[in-house]
Amino acid sequence: MELLELKGISKEYRSGKGAVKALSDINLSVKRGEFVSIMGPSGSGKSTLLNVIGCLDRPSAGEYFLDGMKVDRVSDDKLSEIRNRYIGFVFQNFHLLQGLDALGNVELPLIYRGIGSAERKRRAKEALDAVGLSDRIHHRPSELSGGEQQRVAIARALVQEPLLVLADEPTGSLDSRTGRAIMELFQKLNTERGITVVMVTHDRDMARYGRRIVRLLDGRIKEEEFIG
Amino acid sequence: MRFFFAAQMAWQGVVINPLRSGLTVLGVAIGVASVVSLMGIGEGARLAVVKQFESLGSNVIVIKAHDAKAEFMPEEAEELLERVSGLKYASPVVRTNAVMRWRRARGQVEIIGVSSDFPELRDHRLVSGRFFTKWHVEQRSPVAVLGYNIGAGLLGGRSPVGQTLTLNGQTYRIVGVLEKKGPGQAEGIDDKVVIPYTTALKIAGKKTVDELWVKAESAKAADLAIAQLGRIYRRKLGFDATAPKPGDGEQQQMPGKEGAEKPVETLPAPQPEDQSKEEKPALELGKDIITITNLNTLVEEADKANRVMTLLLGGIAAVSLLVGGLGIMNIMLVAVTERTAEIGVRRALGAKKFDLLLQFLMEAFYLSGMGAATGTALGIWGVNLFNRYGFNAVISAEAVRVAVFVALGCGLIFGVYPAWTAASVPPVEALRR
């Protein structure tokens, strides 16, 4: 069953003199439970693609179905709801809120879902446990190492029980050993929980954790490679 | 639910940067405090003046002669009660000094000679004894009622009623002691000795008085009595009461400072061609001879002037309150710019525009709310401080209400724009930082 289906997706940015075409005619489908890596040189449109998939940005043209719903033209509030219910984000810079401890950061998506405090805390602790940080729940981001911060971010994505986790260069700010540990975590979530992962990276080694690599060039899909 | 979480997260926004929040709160607090304390000073000054006038008694009309030739016979006071409708009490007033002797002590005291209507006329009560009677006045009895300070001082707090003292060598029996009015109130009656006007005239060596007091039944009766009194004295001075010449009559003047008498009805000297010229040639021309003053209007005028003063002070303070409000806007705009990434993350995690609008609005509201609370406390403290240095400032509930309302309003109004900016940042843009 297709979780993501992109049909003829284009994205143009109006900047300065003319329009910049970041994506043109992207056709891509991702099945439930897949682990897809998107690669490409900088400026190839991979982050734009991830933003469109993550409902953070709307395509200029084309159709996008997420779990069978047509989401390319829904309202801003509806997009917020979709992100909250279906999509977990993991960023290169972790994007944790500095004022909150690990638990508070992980709770955040559940707050916007309107879940009560006790339930929120229970689920957040569970998620932190799953990424091996049960002894760090009251540490603030500044008191955690890069790898630990990224684990908190992953726990924050996990707590939503998402269908899809989108990761934008998740190992970009980490050393290679920590990076590999993070990738193994993604792999584990993918195989054990069946969470679909779509990851953008320019690191060939990291990309190989996925089972399919989609290569972009100048806003178009150049080639797809399946890893055996 | 959503509101509650927005409130919670807004609070985090406040405590995450304590220095910045503190300074913003201080800005609002100073504004609120200055409104509360300056309006407190203004209001205090107003109340002090009003109280001073009120201590003179309500609905009292003072008739004063400014020329020895125009002075009144003391019996005129009583006559006015019959001739002018709506008057209830009347008294001539004799002011003089005497040497008072009490046991071995002696000293100069101010004497005020009045009729037995005096307590009702000027709203005086007695702490002990009784006031002298009409009979005492007619008999020129040597009786005295003491102002509170004098009365309390003689026997160290015990009532001196029944004792005797001497004024200019003549023995007087103390029949009563007046209730305390307070410093500067009721023309300083606390330090005076009140005796029958008949007796006082003897001390002063006079036959006429330059002042009459009458009291009307009501404020309205006082207004009517003023007109009637004007006619009576105009006729007495030789004017035609029914056809007053232009420029003769009622000229309204603004009250002076420090409880000066305000001539409500001013009677100038007659013009040279006037028939009265022959009768009263000694009258100086062009000067006020008799003034008739309604104390009620004095109170109103003073009250009005002081209200303007209070508003002015409040207005000045309001400017600083406005500056405090702009401080909130400034800080919130900085916060929005600085926290764009945070906004992006929240949006990515599922926050709606409304959630962010609410969060930033609440944050502004907290800042202004804390500013208002701190400012009120500071203002009250300021009022107490001013009072320690001799001001008569009061904590006016109205000032507090206005200041708090304006501060919260500023917080909300100046918070809307930054909050809207925050909510409108596209999530992609925000995450790019």
A95/B345 Cβ within 8 A = yes
- CB of B113 within 8 A of CB of B201? yes
Q: For residues B106 and B119, what is the distance between their CA atoms, to the nearest angstrom?
A: 27
Of the CA atoms within 13 Å of residue B131, those in its CB half-sphere come to 22
Picking from A95, A107, A142, A152 by the largest number of B CB atoms within 10 A of its own CB, the best residue to mutate is A95
**What span, in angstroms and rounded, lies between the C-alpha atoms of A69 and A5?**
10
pLDDT tier at B268 (50, 70, 90 boundaries)? Answer: low
At residue B328 the predicted structure's pLDDT band, cuts being 50, 70 and 90, is: confident
Contact assignment for B349 to A76 by CB distance below 8 Å? no
Q: What angle do CA A19, A24, A27 make, to 5 degrees?
A: 155
Residues B310 and B269 grouped into a single domain = no
What pLDDT score does B278 carry? 37
CB contact at 8 A, B362 and B6? yes
Instruction: Read off the pLDDT of residues A22-67 as tens digits, 9 standing for 90 and up.
Output: 999 999 999 999 999 999 988 889 989 999 999 999 999 999 999 9
**Per the CB < 8 Å rule, is B344 touching A95?**
yes
Interface test with A, best of B2, B5, B16, B349 (most A CBs within 10 A): B349
How do residues B296-318 score in pLDDT, each as one tens digit?
A: 787 788 788 888 888 888 888 88
Q: Report the phi/psi class of residue A67: left, alpha or beta, with left for phi > 0 and alpha for psi in -120 to 50.
A: left
Q: Is A151 on the interface with B (CB under 8 A)?
A: no
For position B249, what pLDDT does the model report?
40
**In the listed set B240, B269, B295, which residue is the last one of a domain according to the structure?**
B295
Same domain, residue pair B260 and B326: no
Same domain, yes or no: B28 and B79: no
Q: Tokens representing B110?
A: 């101010």
- Confidence tier at B265 by pLDDT (50, 70, 90): low
Q: Do B2 and A77 touch (CB under 8 A)?
A: no
Indicate whether B338 and B385 sit together in one domain: yes
Confidence of residue B239 (pLDDT cuts 50, 70, 90): low
Position B258 pLDDT exceeds 50: no
Lowest-confidence range among A187-201, B44-58, B410-424? B44-58
**Residue B360, min C-alpha distance to chain A (Å):** 15
CB contact under 8 A, A95 and B351: no
* Last residue of one domain, picked from the residues B277, B295, B313: B295
Side-chain-facing half-sphere of B252: CA atoms under 13 Å: 4
Residue B295: CB atoms within 10 Å: 23
Which residue type occupies B189?
Answer: I
- Check whether residue B211 and residue B359 sit in a common domain: no
The ipTM (two decimal places) reads 0.92
Domain boundaries, given as residue ranges, for chain A: 32-59+74-226
Cα R_g (chain A), whole angstroms? 17
pTM of the model: 0.67
Is B286 found in the same domain as B412?
A: no
Both B215 and B324 in one domain: the answer is: no
Which CB contacts under 8 angstroms, 24+ apart, belong to A138-145?
A138/A101, A138/A102, A138/A103, A139/A101, A139/A102, A140/A98, A140/A99, A140/A100, A140/A101, A140/A102, A141/A94, A141/A96, A141/A97, A141/A98, A141/A102, A141/A105, A142/A98, A144/A102, A145/A178
For A77-129, write each residue's pLDDT tens digit.
Answer: 999 999 999 999 999 989 999 888 999 999 999 999 988 889 999 999 999 99
The β-bridge partners of A70 are A65
If you measure CA to CA, which chain B residue comes closest to A98? B16
| Residues B137-179: tens digit of each pLDDT | 999 999 999 999 998 888 887 889 999 999 999 999 999 999 9
pLDDT digits 0-9 by tens, B50-70? 777 777 777 889 998 888 888
Kindly identify which residue of chain A lies nearest to residue B353, measuring between CA atoms. Answer: A77
The two structure tokens encoding residue A163:
């269908």
Number of structural domains (chain B) is 2
User: Which structural domain, as residue segments, surrounds residue B168?
Assistant: 60-295
**Confidence class for position A5, pLDDT limits 50, 70, 90:** very high
Least confident of A99-103, A124-128, A138-142, B415-419: B415-419
Q: Do B350 and A83 touch (CB under 8 A)?
A: yes
Which residues, 6+ apart, have CB-to-CB distance to B204 below 8 Å? Answer: B94, B96, B113
List, as one string, the DSSP characters of B294-348: EHHHHHHHHHHHHHHHHHHHHHHHHHHHHHHHHHHHHHHHHHHHHTHHHHHHHHH
How many Å lie between the alpha carbon of A158 and the closest alpha carbon of chain B? 12
Q: Does residue B259 surpass a pLDDT of 50?
A: no
Residue B252 has pLDDT above 50, yes or no: no
Q: What is the predicted pLDDT for the residue at B279?
A: 38
Task: Decide which of B295, B328, B357 is a domain's last residue.
Answer: B295
Those residues with Cβ within 8 angstroms of residue B122's Cβ, 6 or more apart along the chain or in another chain: B56, B57, B60, B186, B189, B213
Tell me if A57 and B341 make a contact (CB, 8 A cut-off).
Answer: no
- Please state, in angstroms and rounded to a whole number, the distance separating the CA atoms of residues B241 and B233: 9
Q: Which of A45-54, B18-27, B183-192, B343-352 has the lowest mean pLDDT?
A: B183-192
Average pLDDT across chain A, whole number = 92
Kindly compute the dihedral angle of the four CA atoms of residues B397, B399, B402, B406, in this order, to the nearest 10 degrees.
-130
Look over chain B and give the mean of its residue pLDDT values, rounded to a whole number: 82
Burial of B373-405, coded b for 16+ CB within 10 Å and e otherwise, reads bbbbebbbebbeebbeeebbbbbbeebbebbbe
In order of A37, A84, A98, A225, the CA distances from A102 in angstroms are 28, 19, 9, 37
- Residues in chain B with CB shorter than 8 Å from the CB of A114 are 1-2
Chain B: closest CA distance from residue A207 (Å): 22
Residue B243 above 80 pLDDT?
no
Whether chain B has a CB inside 8 Å of the CB on A211: the answer is no
User: CB contacts < 8 Å between A and B, how many?
Assistant: 63
State the pLDDT confidence band at B269, using cuts at 50, 70 and 90: low
Amino acid letter, B25: V
| pLDDT average, residue stretch B79-91 | 90
Residues B133 and B204 in one domain: yes
Same domain, residue pair B169 and B312:
no
Cβ within 8 Å of residue B402, ≥6 positions away: B35, B39, B314
Verify that B113 and B261 share a domain, yes or no. yes
Q: Judge whether residue B215 has pLDDT over 60.
A: yes
Query: B79 in the Ramachandran plot: left (φ > 0), alpha (ψ -120 to 50) or beta?
Result: alpha
Residue B1 to residue A114, Cβ atoms within 8 A: yes
Note the CATH architecture for domain A32-59+74-226.
3-Layer(aba) Sandwich (3.40)
Residues B227, B84 share a domain: yes
B292 with B87: CB under 8 angstroms?
no
Task: Write out chain A residues lying below 8 Å of B2, CB-based.
Answer: 114
First to last CA, chain B: 30
B35 and B86 share one domain:
no
